[in-house]
Structure 1
Amino acid sequence: MKTQSPDTLSVRILAFGIAKDILEDNVIWMDLEPGSKVSDLKSALMEAFPAFEKLQYVRFAINESYVTDDEIILPDDEIAIIPPVSGG
């Protein structure tokens, strides 16, 4: 786990599919303010990776459960970005 200061929430993000391509890795770390929500993380991702804005239909999961944009991110949460999948 990455060391955190009291003013920073360092989050580990797992990326799959097209999200992995845009983030150029399957695991990244981002620093957010404590009390940040998933919507804040999305904004930070769009700022750091402008192409992320194209991913309108990705879902976010925290600790293996899908969440809404209002979900507060806590220390030690595992965040996953999951693009839509199709089957045949």
Structure 2
Amino acid sequence: MNKVLFFAHLRDAVGEEFLKIDASGKTVAELKAELVHNYNLPKLDSVMTAVNEEFAQDDEVIQDGDEVAFIPPVSGG
């Protein structure tokens, strides 16, 4: 089982700070596609992903127990 964290507008869209999902064996890209479909999220192309607090690419495979976080780009001044 994996803890999947959401930040900023993604948290609002999902309605939860995090979800418990079995993402073991999936790539980051596969998990993104599943979340977009299941939770009606906007495309996650520009969102940074971290696995176990380290930035991850879309082809990284998620292991059982990994914590995955989706972090939208921030802007400000």
TM-score normalised by the chain length of structure 1: 0.78
- Select which of 52, 61, 69 maps to 2:58: 69
- Counterpart position of 1:36: 26
- Select which of 52, 73, 80 maps to 2:69: 80
Shift of residue 42, structure 1, vs aligned partner? 0.6
TM-score normalised by the chain length of structure 2: 0.88
Provide the identity percentage.
38
The structure whose Rg is larger is: 1
Unmatched 5+ stretches in structure 1: 1-9
* Partner secondary structure for residue 19 of structure 1: helix
- Counterpart position of 1:7: none
- Select which of 26, 44, 60 maps to 2:49: 60
Residues 55, 36 of structure 1: alpha-carbon distance in 2 compared, 3 angstrom cutoff:
closer
Stretches of 4+ aligned residues off by more than 4 angstroms? none
String of CA shifts for 1:35-68, please: whole Å, max 9, x gaps: 2110110111011112x13443111100111111
Shift of residue 87, structure 1, vs aligned partner? 2.7
Q: What CA distance in whole angstroms lies between the structure 2 residues aligned with 1:21 and 1:55?
A: 14
How many residue pairs get matched?
A: 77
Residues 53, 28 of structure 1: alpha-carbon distance in 2 compared, 3 angstrom cutoff:
same
Contact 1:11–1:31 under 8 Å retained in 2? yes
